A and B are shown apart, each in its own frame.
Chain A
Amino acid sequence: MSEPIVKLEQVSFSYPAVEGRPHTALKDVTLEVEEGSFVAVLGHNGCGKSTLAKHMNAILLPLGGKVWVAGMDTADESRWLDVHRTVGMVFQNPDNQIVANVVEEDVAFAPENLGVPSPEIRRRVDEALEIVGMSKYARHAPHRLSGGQKQRVAIAGVIAMQPRCIVMDEPTAMLDPVGREEVLKTIRRLNREQHTTVVLITHHMDEAAMADRLVVMDHGEVIADGTPRTVFQKVELLRSVGLTVPDTVELLYELRQAGLDLPLDALSVEECAQAICGCLRSN
């Protein structure tokens, strides 16, 4: 198998304590992200998701363990620029990641920093805006756009850098349902059509269910890792760390508790309905 794009080896990290003991944010996290995959990271507030994300492109350096990005040790300062350009990052608040007053100028920011020649920047900007469906707004001022549009501009800004992997830290947390749907569609397309590796940090079950792989965190540790189907079957475990499961799984779980013989691995409403119908028929 090819080398993983991001590899964490027993990473631990704690923030410097303001008062009292230092706060441990990551404990012995070992994780490999395969090139081209779509990984969701799930966990409740303060469990260390953002800290994990910041380790994936050398914004934070592990206090214990190692992080490798495309074979580069993130502790090696001379490789930081390469690490940044390999793993792009999208944050929660689009307002705080947009640098320029014009959409296309903002999207051009990363390639400009990389010293890409002007005609090539033009090409990349147009392509990135096309991918996120914002070509029409190239000459607009970002502060006049809706939240979902701003976040798509921010994503285009990272795409234009042509990273191999994009880590998104709750990119939909500040958006309304419409904006959220736009952004999720963009993310899915990015992974399916552009074959960009995506790490999506979220605390929405339905967003996590879109991924190929689901990593669940609690108190700085990875407590479950697998396909969404298998992970969501661990209903008790998820509930014990304060997470809910998708409604369909919840329903099947409750029916099972009531004594019905049902599988738990139905994520879509159709699958769930079929499972229940099948069960009723066989009774």
Chain B
Amino acid sequence: MLKDITLGQFFPGTSLVHRLDPRTKLLCVVLYIAALFTAAGWVSYAVVFALLAVAVGISRIGVKALLRGMKPVVVILVFTGALNLFYTQTGTELVHLGFLHITTGGLERAFFMVTRILMLISGTFLLTYTTSPIALTDGLEHLLGPLKLLKVPVHDLAMMMSIALRFIPTLIEETDKIMSAQKARGADFEGGSLLDKARAMVPLMVPLFVSAFRRADELATAMECRCYHGGEGRTRLKQLRFQAADWAVLALFVALLALIVVLKLRFRV
């Protein structure tokens, strides 16, 4: 079950998508999401989807890896789909089952909502799959740089995020280990009611938290020993640099958003 957690996972590679500057990718994802939420009809969705498909193709991440990341949200998808299907009562009625009415409008809406969530997740996953967490936080730190003027601790937040990402695999491994140890002593994590399951988690969470705090303490000491003293005067192994490709891709995504907005306002498709 824990193997399904792909959040923050990074698949190294050399494709164009991998090589783009993290700032470009972050901005593109923002533009992409904006476009996705502006999209008002079949044509718009098809355009956004085409761009996503091309990006996935170039990245060579593979649709399978993307779909694997969707598993945890299946419940949300089904729920959203059902809700929109049954509560939208426009267009002609297709099915009438007791108190349930399925209409063409409902079908269309449910399809759009589910597709929107799927595309939203795919887009953000493509970002984290092709960008090393270090590059990602580095990019974020640069993009949010102006907030420093408002006394927002941008560097510290970025550092916290990169450490959190760094420890995800370590903590997952540890959870697995503790689970095996508890299972060996007869603990049951799968069976029983929801309450039983929650109860079974207690002996799992306690040692996990204790160890996480100990790790945090040791890591802080180790960082201090390696001369960490905040973001001031810090240099980087890899300086971020915008290439021609970055500008081109960025322009493409700006164009995408503009197109979707025009499609919506002028043609409502």
Residues in chain A within 8 A of chain B (CB atoms):
57, 59, 81, 84-85, 88-89, 91, 93, 95-102, 104-105, 108-118, 121-122, 125, 139, 141, 143, 157-158, 161
Contacts and interface: CB of A to CB of B under 8 A. Distances in A.
A59 B134 CA distance: 27
B205 interface: no
Contacts of A96: 214-215, 218-219, 222
Interface stretch (B27-35, B58-66, B234-242): B234-242
A158 B218 contact: no
A158 B226 contact: yes
B169 A113 contact: no
B226 A59 contact: no
Contact of B237 (A85, A88, A112): A112
Contact of A97 (B132, B163, B218, B227): B218
Contacts of B236: 108, 112, 118, 121
13 contacts: A81-B229, A85-B227, A91-B218, A96-B218, A96-B222, A99-B222, A104-B237, A112-B237, A113-B226, A113-B228, A116-B235, A118-B239, A121-B237
B225 interface: yes
Contacts of B53: none
A93 B12 CA distance: 26
B165 interface: yes
Contact of B166 (A57, A98, A122): A98
Contacts of A108: 236-237
A139 B218 CA distance: 25
Given A118-B235, A143-B170, A91 B222 contact: yes
A111 B12 CA distance: 24
A238 B175 CA distance: 41
B224 interface: yes
B166 A161 contact: no
A106 to B, nearest CB: 9
Contacts of A161: 226-227
